[in-house]
Amino acid sequence: ALAGDTSDQSRVCARMASIACEKILVSSQPHHKSDTLTTYKKLVKVIGTYCPSQAPRFVEAAKSLDVDSILYPLVLNVTLRSTASECMKSSLGLLTLHCAHILNSRVSTDLGSITVWSLPHANLSRNSAYSSFLRNPCKQVHDWKVKKSDHSGFLADLGLLIRLGEVKAESYKPGRSGAYHFKITKLKSQSVPVSSLSSLTCSCSSGSSSRYSSYRPYYQSASSADCLLKKHKSTASKYCEDEKKLNVIKALLMPPAEVVAQQYPQQLQQGKHQPSQQQQRPLQRRLQKLDVLYTAPSLGLTLALVNNTQAHVKEISPTAPNANMVRANDVLVGVNGKRFEELGLKIEGNSSFHNAIEKLKDVKRPMLVMFERWVTINDAGGKPGQQNEVATRKRPASASTSSGIVGQAPLAVGSGAQGQHLKRPAKKPKSTDVIDLT
């Protein structure tokens, strides 16, 4: 009776939680973004505990939220990810890839270039009356009223820059009467990408401390309102911020073993990362699953059909993205958390092999490509630092917990090449076709 009562209570709690979560997800979002973030953190725990069926609706609702203020801090919450249920970990994985897709589209957009007036040899001038102007990339012309007796000193100071063709200097009187003016015009400009403006500085908003500070230019001044960098620097700063966030997201999506492989490649080559006791273990085999994130259009891989049922990596281009993670003979089993069988793309010969690859043309970057390999662990007789053998076998399909956003890539199809079986020369593989993804 007690067990029955507990079961009834669980069903009631699950039903009430499902109704509450559904109302929250379909209702308008809270006014403050901090409230929205807090609400969705609570939803992760409630849905994972009481109503996992609401997980797909949670993902769809969360995708409409602001990436910078809500989704990015949500998916980066280490405590939340580690304590979430399996279904919500998968949901957070989907949202992580959604963030990667949005951020990747931002940093892939060409922001264009602007013309700046940066002189390569501005340091050749030592006169404080205009030294800040010569180093200022925002200004082309500096014209100010100054005593005639000072003009010869200015011309002497600027002589080298004039001979190099970087500036033109004029001593003149605007009208028939009145004070003399001195005018410097920069002759050389540079085209600088907006995305790199964060490395430039200017003196538009700083005041002058020279003895000529009372002689301000009569038709232009170094005010921040006319600052060329200020007009574009906010865009450049946002671009750099998005680039940093995308790198963090990529590291989050990368499998832990591959993170170590990228950070310590030499140690891995020498086998220093492995415990010494591992070499004394008996021969073992284990299945290794790899989820590799691709953001570039080209995968740099050549796939071969093996035994009419498997897409094996035959060759890897030297310039392929993630070339240090994928190995020859790895088996491509799916995309974005779903195997080919789940996507209705089961490989059963040349036709379905080509059809499966063709279907991938319509997806968007970034995407997680799922590979599998059988890893043979060295026995006690192995040499220190020896690389583990890798062999891939046909095995029953199993679900993967990875999830993601599929991307688009140009694919070229060719035929006539023979695929190679992985570390198993006993039988010649029945391979009749090859697809080049480079």
Instruction: Give 356 or 381, the one with higher predicted confidence.
Output: 356
**Distances from the Cα of 181 to the Cα of 106, 148, 157, 177, angstroms:** 47, 8, 17, 12
The amino acid at 395: R
Identify the top-confidence range among 85-89, 236-240, 265-269. 85-89
What is the mean pLDDT of the segment spanning 380-400? Answer: 36
What is the mean pLDDT of the segment spanning 162-175? Answer: 89
What is the mean pLDDT of the segment spanning 69-92? Answer: 91
Would you say residue 148 has pLDDT above 60? yes
So what's the pLDDT on residue 320?
84
User: With bands split at pLDDT 50, 70 and 90, how would you rate the model's confidence at 428?
Assistant: very low
User: With bands split at pLDDT 50, 70 and 90, how would you rate the model's confidence at 162?
Assistant: very high
In what side-by-side order are the strands of the sheet with 181-186? 141-145, 181-186, 167-172
What is the mean pLDDT of the segment spanning 227-234? Answer: 77
Would you say residue 414 has pLDDT above 70? no
**pLDDT tens-digit readout, 103-126:** 998 888 777 888 888 888 888 888
The answer to whether the beta carbons of residues 411 and 357 sit under 8 Å apart is: yes
What is the mean pLDDT of the segment spanning 249-269? Answer: 63
Secondary structure, 3-state, 45-56: HHHHHHCHHHHH
Assigned token pair, 175: 């009208």
State the Cα–Cα distance between residues 227 and 136, nearest whole angstrom. Answer: 10
State the Cα–Cα distance between residues 8 and 416, nearest whole angstrom. Answer: 63
Would you say residue 416 has pLDDT above 50? no
Q: What percent of the chain has pLDDT over 70?
A: 70
So what's the pLDDT on residue 263?
54
So what's the pLDDT on residue 399?
34
Concatenate the DSSP letters of all residues of 180-224 into one string.
-EEEEEE---EEEEGGGGGG----TTSPP-STTTTS--SS----G
What is the mean pLDDT of the segment spanning 389-394? Answer: 34
State the Cα–Cα distance between residues 142 and 150, nearest whole angstrom. Answer: 16
What is the mean pLDDT of the segment spanning 404-410? Answer: 32
Write the CB contacts of 399 (distance below 8 Å, at least 6 apart in sequence): 339, 342
Would you say residue 6 has pLDDT above 80? no
So what's the pLDDT on residue 418?
35
What is the mean pLDDT of the segment spanning 163-177? Answer: 87
So what's the pLDDT on residue 269?
54
User: With bands split at pLDDT 50, 70 and 90, how would you rate the model's confidence at 168?
Assistant: very high
So what's the pLDDT on residue 127?
87
Would you say residue 398 has pLDDT above 80? no
What is the mean pLDDT of the segment spanning 369-379? Answer: 76
Assigned token pair, 319: 């310039």
| Burial (CB count <10 Å: 0-12, 13-18, 19+), residue 105 | middle
Average pLDDT over the chain, rounded to whole?
74
Nearest CA among 242, 420, 221 for reference residue 330: 420
Tokens 């006169």: give the residue.
127
**pLDDT tens-digit readout, 277-307:** 544 455 567 888 888 888 877 788 888 888 8
DSSP state of 328: T
Q: What is the dihedral of CA 36, 41, 46, 47, to 10 degrees?
A: 80
Instruction: Give 147 or 29, the one with higher predicted confidence.
Output: 147
User: With bands split at pLDDT 50, 70 and 90, how would you rate the model's confidence at 437?
Assistant: low
So what's the pLDDT on residue 153?
92
Write the CB contacts of 426 (distance below 8 Å, at least 6 apart in sequence): none
Would you say residue 58 has pLDDT above 60? yes
Instruction: Give 12 or 413, the one with higher predicted confidence.
Output: 12
Assigned token pair, 231: 């007009």
Q: Strand, helix or coil at 313?
A: strand
So what's the pLDDT on residue 381?
40
54 φ, ψ to 5°?
-85, 0
The answer to whether the beta carbons of residues 180 and 172 sit under 8 Å apart is: yes
Angle ∠(161,167,172) on CA atoms, nearest 5: 115
What is the mean pLDDT of the segment spanning 394-423? Answer: 34
Write the CB contacts of 97 (distance below 8 Å, at least 6 apart in sequence): 253, 336, 366, 367, 368, 403, 404, 405
The answer to whether the beta carbons of residues 100 and 249 sit under 8 Å apart is: yes
Query: Which residues, in sequence order, are bridge partners of residue 182?
Result: 144, 171
The answer to whether the beta carbons of residues 202 and 227 sit under 8 Å apart is: yes
The answer to whether the beta carbons of residues 121 and 160 sit under 8 Å apart is: yes
